[in-house]
Amino acid sequence: MPNTFNTLLVEAGLDPGDVRLLRHADPTSAPGRTPFHLWHGNRAKFDRYQSSQHMDERTRSKLKSKYWASFVGTPEGETLFVGVYGVRYLGLLPKDEPAPHHDGIDKAGTLDEYELVLDERLRDRIGQLYVDWGGGKKSWIQRADLQDKAVYEGSRGGIRSDSIVEGLLHEIETNGDLPKKANAESGWFAVVPRKWQDLMDRAAREGRDGPNLIVYRTTTNDPRDHHVIPFMVTRELLTDATAPIRADGSRRWEMTLKADQLRVTHGERVVDVSGYRGATLPGEVVGAAGEELGEELVAERAEDGSQPVDGDDLAVEVLGAVLDVFVGELPAEVARRAVSELDDRLAVGRDFGAVLADAGADAEDLEVDVDAIGDGLLVRVLEDDVAVEEGVR
């Protein structure tokens, strides 16, 4: 394989001078809605995300080109290739649109809109190829002909298949279901009765039987290694008797899902849930041929941690609260601000060089997800140097 990205472009019949390199990363994204997760789990929202950009003249001139070679920052901080797009400038955003990466609104006239068409060239490298972006991750728009980046295949942390659930956490929770990440080795996870009761109450108000329990793991060779377990199954397992009071006065259901067999630690029943493996998820986009999108090989987080022990819950709950406070303190406009430098390779835009690792669960769930720490819960904040100046979209 060629060792530079420009060599790949030339071999594919593309002039590097016609190509701009874009690295999408956004630390203000809601959990499960970073550009990486959008690309992996909901291509329509990812396309919507990158097709709208900061509307100042500097950014517009930097983005002006025949093609964009798009990349996303992974949770591990690597840079993953996600396609070459033909580009056409359309003008200002004509109407208000829901922001794809958080719960805000992109107001009409506040962003430039582009028509993007995925090019067939280098399509076989999508989700497989990584580049060494270099130290200037704030420089999220760069000229290909001035930046011949080294490439490699497969995450340097190991090639694994990322569960498609990771990119749909927001949709799953919005639907009133409960996503739970099981330990990679033991299949262990836990459910908090208070959280489960809240979801059951909501389902009753909406006229549904109850919430689905969606259990997944990321260290796997199958991106669809998840189970969408309906309420008619879990209601027989999740009872007062199977969630005894612990020494600290708390209660939770400790469960395992391994080899398609679901059981509660303090119960006697074992349920075969093989029929629910790989089922369609809330918000999942199904292609014309009936196949789900977003199953390419991508970099995976570090190994899942081991089963938590009594007393760990409080520490993780506090950490979750700190994350909530940190994100909550960011002003709304920061979601779209970017950094400009004197270096001509940099442009002001919607993306950020620093990437916040996504815990993939709400703060309340974190009280039992101690094993999620091993999956990137600790947040890497502002990896790059302090910006020379900042622009607000």
- What value does the mean pLDDT take over residues 238-258? 90
* Whether residue 87 has pLDDT greater than 50: yes
- The reported pTM is 0.47
Integer distance in angstroms from the first to the last C-alpha of the chain? 40
Greater confidence, 327 or 157? 157
Most confidently modeled range among 35-39, 159-163, 185-189: 35-39
pLDDT in the model for residue 155: 65
Q: What's the rounded Cα separation, in Å, for the pair 25 and 355? A: 6
pLDDT in the model for residue 326: 37
* Whether residue 225 has pLDDT greater than 50: yes
pLDDT in the model for residue 371: 34
Q: Give the model confidence (pLDDT) of 260-269 as tens digits.
A: 999 998 888 9
Cβ atoms 23, 82 nearer than 8 A:
no
Greater confidence, 366 or 149? 149
Q: Give the model confidence (pLDDT) of 32-64 as tens digits.
A: 888 998 898 888 899 999 999 988 888 999 999
Closest CA to 172 of 280, 253, 92: 280
pLDDT in the model for residue 177: 96
Q: Give the model confidence (pLDDT) of 9-34 as tens digits.
A: 999 999 999 999 999 988 778 888 88
Two tokens at 283?
Answer: 């918000």
pLDDT in the model for residue 246: 84
Dihedrals φ, ψ of 103, to 5°? -90, 10
pLDDT in the model for residue 294: 39
Cβ atoms 188, 209 nearer than 8 A:
no
pLDDT in the model for residue 314: 36
- What value does the mean pLDDT take over residues 265-287? 87
Between the CA atoms of 353, 174, 53 and 68, what dihedral angle is there, to the nearest 10 degrees?
Answer: 70
pLDDT in the model for residue 391: 26
Task: Say which range, 27-36, 99-108, 318-327, has the weakest mean pLDDT.
Answer: 318-327
Q: What's the rounded Cα separation, in Å, for the pair 190 and 181? A: 9
Two tokens at 358?
Answer: 């996504």
| 135 Cβ contact partners less than 8 Å away, ≥ 6 residues apart | 384
* Whether residue 361 has pLDDT greater than 70: no
Cα torsion 367, 183, 102, 391: sign:
positive
Greater confidence, 351 or 177? 177
Q: What percent of the chain has pLDDT over 70?
A: 68
Cβ atoms 237, 262 nearer than 8 A:
yes
pLDDT in the model for residue 297: 29
pLDDT in the model for residue 161: 53
Banded model confidence at residue 217, pLDDT cuts 50, 70, 90: confident
